[in-house]
């Protein structure tokens, strides 16, 4: 569910009263303009200068630009100015916006109450109060508030996971170590068992904690979290050798996991064990997993609420900051997303991940120089980190520095002892092709296919390249047919197949496939160009010209733009291949 749509429709009575209150003047210019800028406080306007409805509309606009904190201000002003019948709705909107903005003290003050308030928002308000009490050490109050929030659609999982920590804060040990049952939520149930281990350790019941952790490890421990928790506890108990064994076993399942590697190095070097997390830190961690699940289910608002609550409990929860950045970036609030990624300190195990996400946000917005600056600084600090070097090669490629990108890939491929990752060969092939070195690109693609013969991206890249160059057409056509069979919803691959038929002179078949491709890739200039050429060959010249004109609106390369402009003036002047002759020439 989405919190912004808990109230599925504005009731007609509320709509009528809000509209009736709408004054003749629009929202103040500074309020309207503010939806595009940085957050600022809004003072109550003089009487008659702005209406409740004007503030309501400005609040919606602020939300649409990701400015949830400012939206909370606007909705609160709308509620203060509006008639009684609209205030429950507007206060609810202000409450939701405050939660999503992370202004949790304000959210607690705005939490809806009473029989006339929306029940789901009342339960969310109870969850906010429960976390507030937990954050300030009021365990019994937290238990009461969390119990009140259990039945809400957006709150039941969080309440179930947090109640044991509230019991521990209230010094009710037996209740704290009783594992909650969360039906229909296997991920949350995993974390409930993990939390049980943490709470057993907090209660100094170390054997029971170890049993809880090992039970999770035996069942798979897909992210290595139980292994990390078990190993850390063993280190704190002076059992360093046992901790090393736990980390080594986990690394066999999850090779390359940075947190496990860091823990293994620490324990192997007999360094100080990590401190036991506090109840607040552990409770914050308990909210991360359901938030991640909500993100995967596209319930970003509920996820953001969980993450903001987690950060209220533990402002240094780096994984939560990463996820906050991801949600904000997905919603288009790039500035706030970057601020979230930048919250991580260099000593954090998530620091590199945050910096890479920061770099990609610059790259995606077209700021290649800033993206490169962040990635190059990371590479200088971590010169052997594989992921950083791959990202740096990608950044260089996107900036048109193909030779520099290929040089980095040369080192990575050489270090893979004769069996490199096919993706590295693919990336280097792109660099070589863009640099005009087709022989090297062809060699890398052929080698990559030898390692991974059923990879559709490889089949398509090499097959299309041969088709476009008029080389090895029988083999190339077979390759792109196989690529399409492996990935039948790829417009790019269907385009390759259509272009293969075009190069053989089978224009009717080419039109059929290219029309399929254009439905999947309507904004691709090359696909539009190919379809235009195919239309021309079958005599549909007006449609061909339409497709070519469309190419010019899709930011084509300079080379393609010149070719299309020529075709718009004179059409296709060459005779094109003859199907029968081409088939005979290529043994088809």
Could you write out the DSSP letters of every residue in 47-73? Answer: TTTS-HHHHHHHHHHHHHTT-HHHHHH
Q: Which helix (H) or strand (E) holds 143?
A: helix 139-148
Please give the pLDDT value at position 535. 97
Please give the pLDDT value at position 134. 94
Mean pLDDT score, 489-498: 96
* Helix extents (H) in 521-586: 525-537, 541-552, 558-570, 579-585
Please give the pLDDT value at position 85. 63
Give the per-residue SS3 of 412-439. Answer: HHHCCCCCCCHHHHHHHHHHHHHCCCHH
pLDDT in tens, 529-551: 999 999 999 999 999 999 999 99
Rounded Cα distance between 170 and 174, Å, is: 11
pLDDT at residue 581 greater than cutoff 70: no
pLDDT, averaged across the chain: 86
> Long-range contacts: 151-154, Cβ < 8 Å, 24+?
151/123, 152/119, 152/120, 152/123, 152/124, 152/126, 152/127, 153/1, 153/120, 154/1, 154/3, 154/6, 154/120, 154/123, 154/124, 154/302, 154/305
pLDDT at residue 339 greater than cutoff 50: yes
Residue with tokens 């040089």: 407
pLDDT at residue 48 greater than cutoff 60: no
Quote the DSSP letter at residue 332: T
Mean pLDDT score, 489-501: 96
Quote the DSSP letter at residue 17: H
Could you write out the DSSP letters of every residue in 297-323? Answer: TT-HHHHHHHHHHHHHH-TT-HHHHHH
Mean pLDDT score, 569-580: 79
pLDDT in tens, 91-119: 778 888 888 888 888 888 888 888 878 88
Mean pLDDT score, 379-404: 93
Domain residue ranges in the chain: 3-109, 123-280, 316-399, 456-585
pLDDT at residue 4 greater than cutoff 60: no
User: Would the CA dihedral through 360, 366, 367, 372 be positive or negative?
Assistant: positive
123-280 matches 456-585 in fold: yes
The pTM (predicted TM-score) of the whole model is 0.75
Rounded Cα distance between 331 and 361, Å, is: 13
Grade residue 246 by pLDDT with cuts at 50, 70 and 90. Answer: very high
CATH of domain 316-399: 1.25.40.10
**Residue 375 near residue 398 (C-beta atoms within 8 A):** no
Residue with tokens 């490629």: 397
Please give the pLDDT value at position 27. 34
- Nearest CA among 482, 479, 501, 483 for reference residue 492: 483
Domain made up of 123-280: CATH architecture: Alpha Horseshoe (1.25)
Q: Under 8 Å CB-to-CB from 247, ≥6 apart: which residues?
A: 227, 231, 260, 263, 264, 267
∠ CA 305-306-307, rounded to 5°? 90
Rounded Cα distance between 289 and 133, Å, is: 22
> How much of the chain exceeds pLDDT 90, in percent?
63
CATH of domain 456-585: 1.25.40.10
């Amino acid at each position: 569910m989405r919190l912004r749509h808990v109230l599925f429709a504005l009731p007609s009575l509320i709509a009528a009263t809000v509209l009736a209150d709408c004054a003749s003047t629009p929202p103040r210019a500074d309020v309207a303009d503010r939806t595009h800028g940085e957050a600022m406080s809004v003072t109550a306007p003089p009487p008659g200068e702005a209406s409740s409805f004007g503030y309501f509309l400005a609040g919606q606009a602020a939300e649409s630009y990701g400015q949830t904190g400012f939206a909370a201000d606007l909705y609160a002003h709308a509620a203060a100015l509006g008639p009684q019948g609209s205030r429950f709705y507007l206060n609810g909107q202000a409450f939701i916006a405050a939660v999503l903005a992370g202004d949790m003290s304000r959210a607690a003050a705005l939490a809806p109450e009473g029989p006339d308030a929306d029940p789901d928002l009342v339960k969310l308000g109870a969850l906010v109060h429960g976390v507030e009490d937990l954050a300030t050490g009021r365990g019994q109050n937290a238990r009461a508030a969390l119990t009140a929030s259990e039945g809400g659609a957006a709150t039941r999982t969080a309440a179930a996971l947090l109640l044991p920590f509230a019991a521990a804060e209230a010094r009710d040990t037996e209740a704290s170590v009783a594992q909650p049952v969360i039906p229909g939520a296997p991920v949350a149930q995993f974390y409930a068992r993990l939390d049980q281990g943490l709470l057993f350790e907090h209660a100094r019941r170390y054997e029971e904690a170890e049993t809880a952790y090992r039970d999770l490890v035996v069942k798979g421990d897909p992210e290595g979290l139980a292994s990390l928790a078990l190993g850390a506890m063993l280190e704190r108990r002076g059992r360093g050798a046992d901790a090393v064994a736990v980390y080594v076993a986990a690394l066999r399942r999850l090779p390359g996991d940075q947190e496990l590697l860091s823990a293994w190095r620490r324990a192997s070097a007999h360094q100080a064990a990590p401190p036991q997390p506090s109840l607040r830190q552990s409770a914050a961690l308990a909210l991360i997993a359901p938030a991640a699940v909500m993100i995967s289910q596209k319930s970003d608002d509920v996820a953001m609420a969980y993450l903001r609550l987690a950060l209220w409990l533990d402002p240094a929860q780096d994984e939560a900051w990463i996820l906050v950045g991801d949600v904000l970036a997905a919603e288009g609030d790039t500035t706030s997303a970057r601020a979230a990624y930048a919250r991580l300190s260099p000593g954090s195990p998530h620091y590199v991940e945050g910096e890479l996400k920061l770099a990609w946000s610059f790259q995606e917005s077209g700021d290649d120089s800033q993206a490169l600056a962040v990635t190059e600084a990371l590479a200088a600090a971590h010169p052997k980190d594989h992921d950083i070097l791959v990202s740096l090669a990608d950044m260089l490629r996107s900036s048109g520095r193909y030779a520099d990108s290929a040089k980095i890939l040369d080192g990575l491929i050489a270090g893979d002892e004769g069996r490199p990752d096919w993706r590295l060969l693919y990336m280097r092939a792109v660099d070589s092709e863009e640099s005009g070195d087709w022989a090297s690109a062809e060699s890398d693609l052929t080698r990559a296919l030898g390692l991974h013969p059923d990879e559709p991206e490889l089949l398509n890249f090499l097959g299309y390249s041969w088709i476009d160059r008029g080389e090895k057409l029988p083999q190339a056509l077979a390759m792109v047919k196989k690529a399409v069979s492996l990935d039948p919803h790829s417009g790019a691959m269907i385009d390759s197949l259509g272009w293969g038929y075009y190069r053989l002179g089978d224009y009717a078949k080419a039109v059929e496939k290219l029309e399929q491709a254009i439905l999947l890739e309507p904004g691709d200039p090359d696909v539009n160009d190919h379809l235009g050429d195919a239309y021309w060959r079958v005599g549909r010249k007006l449609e061909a010209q339409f497709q070519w004109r469309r190419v010019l609106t899709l930011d084509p390369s300079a080379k393609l733009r010149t070719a299309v402009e020529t075709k718009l003036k004179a059409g296709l002047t060459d005779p094109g291949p003859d199907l029968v002759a081409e088939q005979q020439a290529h043994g088809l």
